[in-house]
Amino acid sequence: MKRKITFMLLAFWVAALGWAQGYQNPVISGFHPDPSVCRVGNDYYLVNSSFEFFPGVPIYHSKDLVNWQQIGHCLTRPSQLSLEKIGPSGGIYAPTLRYHDGTFYMVTTNVTGRGNFLVHTKDPAGEWSEPVWINVPGIDPSLYFEDGKCYLTINPDNTIYLCEINPQTGEILAPRKAIWSGTGGRYPEGPHIYKKDGWYYLMISEGGTEYGHNVTIARSKNIYGPYEANPANPILTHINMNAQYNPIQGIGHADFVQAHDGSWWTVCLGFRPQSGLHHLLGRETFLAPVRWDKNAWPVINGDGTIQLEMDVPTLPLQSVAKADTITWFSKPQLGFEWNYLRNPALGNYQVLEGDSLLRLRATTFTLDDVDTLTFVGRRQEHISFVARTALSLHEAMAGDEAGVTIYRNNQAHYDFYLKQLAKNKQAIVLRYRMGKLTHIEREAELPKVVKTITLQVTGTNNDYQFACSLNNGEYQPIGRIDTRYLSTETNGGFTGTYIGLFAVAKEAQSKAYADFKYFVYKENK
């Protein structure tokens, strides 16, 4: 009885003080790499890399660092983000988000465009400025504001450089100076500067964004150095034996934030292997607490590792609206979770609000092409999931097709689609592209032209399973393909898997279009 009373008193004080206990990683699942975070009062904002997908740089909001809700994108206009004909894993790398004197700044690199630039806004959920170009080489730019000055850190050549810039014009106000090269790990990158207790702390990632990824830190009394490395580096890594069997691997590219209650936290990327040592979802966003005593080095989660189930005190948790499992295409604009490949030809996409249809007009660009194809998709966010859509194909010529693709890049995708064979003949087709190999896994002619066909994809740890239903009938299995052939370990690159809707015309004179009635995506628990 005494023990029960003690527990009840503890629970009362936890509730009274507003504490919460525990959360689940990742805090933003699926392809959300290179997180950068900032705080404004009691609000937190976070951005991620977006590479060849448009709009660019998704931005999230949270009240507790655990529950995040997307509020838009930083780069929504072609004038901000040129992605024309860029290859896989090109485009936008490693953004940094900072807030200073009433203005939000997002600085990043378009590696296949003009290079480094920043955009700014007063309202992070609204429109951002046109690019302010910064004429410095390198990637992974970050900003630090102090005493009316803005400093830029960047990695041009396996060394971190620092210079002062004008954030309104991009002008370089002082020569660049090399300040640290890390501890000897390859690819020192992702630099961020923080000031605490009179020390400037410079945190970077080393080891490459793979299994050997890690985070290291150094400090100096002068922002230009020299910087002294932490004797306990790395401060975050899963390369050691204590995380050998951790279901999260490749952690790194971290950013610190001090919460409104004075506690310190870090966001970082990592990935969850499946089907052996393969990962398909891309690099995701994880959260961990930081102990940072006065004049001491920061310690992340006690031993520099993180877990899926984090049994640690948190800020008072505040739930956010969960994303709908079904999209009815009844609003004029698609939700923030949807992306195009490269800059879209918007005339090929139409939401018919009255009919709750998404109409995709077919073009001759295919999923194998690095061009302006008709494709719109959303991230695969779970290892186990179900995705489903119902579609009809209209005014199609022989060879025209429309359907669903499980898409990694133009050389790695699994396509499940309705194909026009002749005027009154259609087939359901399952095809895969693996590098230079394209193969029709199955093609089944339908008994008649259908008004609507439902396509379903079920994702598991080891395979994708494909099934279809004619006119709302029973689902018929069509085939399954191993997941590992779409993994980063097989294909390289920095992106994750998308579930896309597409339409392709065999000939330029075709007027084919596909109408999608809805799209379902939900986790299979």
- Which tokens go with 337? 């979770």
- Using CA atoms, how far residue 68 sits from 62, 71, 127, 281, 317, in Å, is 5, 9, 20, 18, 11
Active-site positions read 34, 189
Give the DSSP per-residue string, 382-404.
-SSEEEEEEEEEESPPTT-EEEE
- Which tokens go with 56? 């660019």
d(CA 287, CA 35) in angstroms, rounded, equals 10
Residues in CB range of 451: below 8 A, 6 or more apart: 392, 471
The total of other beta-carbon atoms located within 10 Å of residue 146's CB is 12
d(CA 293, CA 301) in angstroms, rounded, equals 13
Give the DSSP per-residue string, 291-344.
E--TTS--EETTTS---SEEEEEESPP---PPPPSEE---SSS--TT-EEESS-
The total of other beta-carbon atoms located within 10 Å of residue 284's CB is 26
- Using CA atoms, how far residue 307 sits from 27, 242, 259, 310, 312, in Å, is 11, 12, 21, 6, 11
Q: Shortest CA distance to 190 belongs to which of 258, 252, 251, 262?
A: 252
Instruction: Give CA angle at 240 (236, 245), nearest 5°.
Output: 105
Quick one: 403 exposed, middle or buried, by C-beta within 10 A (0-12, 13-18, 19+)? buried
Count CA atoms closer than 13 A to 174's CA, side-chain side: 12
d(CA 161, CA 179) in angstroms, rounded, equals 6
Looking at this protein, which amino acid is placed at residue 507?
E
Report yes or no: 92 and 109 within 8 Å, Cβ to Cβ: yes
434 alpha carbon, distance to own chain's centre:
23
N-to-C CA span, the chain:
38
